[in-house]
Amino acid sequence: MRIFTGTYRRPSAEYWMRIERNDFMKKLALIGCGGIGAYHLEHFLQFRDIELAGFCDLLIDRAESFAKKAGSGRAYSDFIQMYDEVQPDMVFICIPPTCHGRIEFETIRRGIPFFVEKPLALDMALAKELVGQVEEKGLIAASGFQCRYDNINDDAMEFAAKHPILHVAASRVGGIPDAPWWNVKSTSGGQLVEQTIHQMDMLRYILKTEPDTVYSVASRGCITQEENPGYFTDDLSTTLITFKNGITCTMMTGCYSLDGASWDSKMTFGSRSTRMDYYLCTKAVMYGISKEDQSSETVGTIAGDGTQRKSDCEVGITVASSVDFGLVCDRTFIDAVLTGDPSKIRSPYSDAYKSVAFTIACNQSMETGLPVKVVY
């Protein structure tokens, strides 16, 4: 055992003053003080080991309101000025899909670890260039696929690994998001790219495979210009997905429903003798793996003659979401920056790029009317 033989020096008054001023804390900056930025800010306010040092938005009053709520940090309308004056140790980028590019390039150039909200970009050439620069720089970077941090995923992935999945039937139907830029497909990417990308990402994450081809069809006309002036995007779409390991999936998605008419964000994973109903960020119900734990749901088997009969799958086990997965997602990135170890990040930037490519391929299929190969 090594014995200390030196002279103990009591920390100076200046040292304790620096502690009080948070001089030793890592500085966090936020770009984009809209709805998703507010979501992250609520998480930051629960952390005591970071300094909320700067908030930036083109609308300076929004940045000022964030700084006021945080009780620290300065408000900016120019992110370059914020970078120069704040010198942040990490940054969260929460901007609309068409605004990506300049901010990330400058962030990478300065070597600042960053967390960016999905989708990374709407232009795959731009996204690919950004991924290349992140990897070349060896920079810690993550994306906002917070659903990966839900506790139900460990059981879901174990189920998919033990029971060979043949097909997945998935859906996501809701209302129109409250963001002006969302109403135009050219600025939002449409629902598949901007919202249902969470389901597409979780398909990759749970199945541990990559998409091979997609065939998507979409329709418009349900939402009229009289009802929502300036609305120019798809009301709904259906996509057939073929994965590289042979699994097929149908994904139905839409943003047309009025209050009370939304569907569950549900994905049903089926094998020959078992099935799992996976409700995004809510619960996973697994059938056919135990006859002891009863579920509130039942299921039957359609026999070869078309008759319905009870099945062993009638018995189900429910695993409920029990963590604030968004909070865990943010905390995991911050811990990675504080420790220099990104190994616990479940949504690294380079992997998030693949989920964007997945959904962009669906849009290409809608435009051409043809199946599209998913290329990374």
Sign of the Cα torsion 65, 59, 114, 352 reads: positive
Kind and range of the H or E element at 107?
A: helix 102-109
HEC profile for the chain? CCCCCCCCCCCCHHHHHHHHCCCCCEEEEEECCCHHHHHHHHHHCCCCCEEEEEEECCCHHHHHHHHHHHCCCEEECCHHHHHHHHCCCEEEECCCHHHCCHHHHHHHHCCCCEEECCCCCCCHHHHHHHHHHHHHHCCCEEECCHHHHCCHHHHHHHHHHHCCCCEEEEEEECCCCCCHHHHEHHHHCHHHHHCCHHHHHHHHHHHCCCEEEEEEEEECCCCCCCCCCCCECCCEEEEEEEECCCCEEEEEEECCCCCCCCCCCEEEEECCCCEEEEECCCEEEEECCCCCCCCCCCCEEECCCCCEEECHHHCEEEEECCCCHHHHHHHHHHHHHHHCCCCCCCCEHHHHHHHHHHHHHHHHHHHHCCCEECCC
Q: Is the pTM of this model over 0.85?
A: yes
Bridge partners, residue 167, by sequence: 248, 270
Q: Rounded to whole angstroms, how far apart are CA atoms 347 and 170?
A: 21
Kind and range of the H or E element at 108?
A: helix 102-109
What per-residue confidence (pLDDT) applies to 258?
75
Query: Has residue 321 been placed in a domain?
Result: no
Q: Locate 31 and state its tokens.
A: 């770009």
Q: Are strands 283-287 and 372-373 parallel, antiparallel or unpaired?
A: unpaired
Query: Has residue 121 been placed in a domain?
Result: yes
What per-residue confidence (pLDDT) applies to 235?
87
* SS3 state of residue 71: coil
Query: Has residue 140 been placed in a domain?
Result: yes
User: Token pair 């992250």 is at which residue?
Assistant: 40
CATH number of the domain residue 84 falls in: 3.40.50.720
Query: Has residue 58 been placed in a domain?
Result: yes
pLDDT one digit per residue (tens) for the chain, 376 residues: 434 344 445 556 654 555 555 556 899 999 999 999 999 999 999 999 999 999 999 999 999 999 999 999 999 999 999 999 999 999 999 999 999 999 999 999 999 999 999 999 999 999 999 999 999 999 999 999 999 999 999 999 999 999 999 999 999 988 888 888 888 999 999 989 999 999 999 999 999 999 999 999 999 888 888 888 888 888 899 999 999 999 999 999 988 887 766 677 899 999 998 999 999 999 999 998 865 444 444 445 444 554 444 555 556 899 999 999 999 999 999 999 999 999 999 999 999 999 999 999 999 999 999 999 999 9
If 0-12 CB within 10 Å is exposed, 13-18 middle and 19+ buried, where does residue 337 land? buried
Query: Has residue 103 been placed in a domain?
Result: yes
Containing domain of residue 42, as a range?
13-147+328-333
Query: Has residue 286 been placed in a domain?
Result: no
Sign of the Cα torsion 340, 343, 347, 351 reads: positive
Say how many domains are in the chain. 1
The alpha carbons of the chain give a radius of gyration, in whole angstroms, of: 24
Question: Which letter, b or e, does each residue of 303-319 get, where b requires 16 or more Cβ atoms within 10 Å of its Cβ?
Answer: eeeeeeeebebbbbbbb
Q: Do the beta carbons of residue 97 and residue 194 sit within 8 Å? A: yes
Query: Has residue 367 been placed in a domain?
Result: no
Quick one: which of 170, 163, 172 has its CA closest to 275? 163
Q: What are the residue ranges of helices labelled H in 138-225?
A: 152-162, 185-188, 190-194, 197-207
Query: Has residue 310 been placed in a domain?
Result: no
The dihedral region occupied by 53, where left means phi > 0, alpha psi between -120 and 50, and beta the remainder, is: alpha
What per-residue confidence (pLDDT) applies to 10?
58
What per-residue confidence (pLDDT) applies to 164?
95
What per-residue confidence (pLDDT) applies to 262?
66
- DSSP letter at 262 equals P
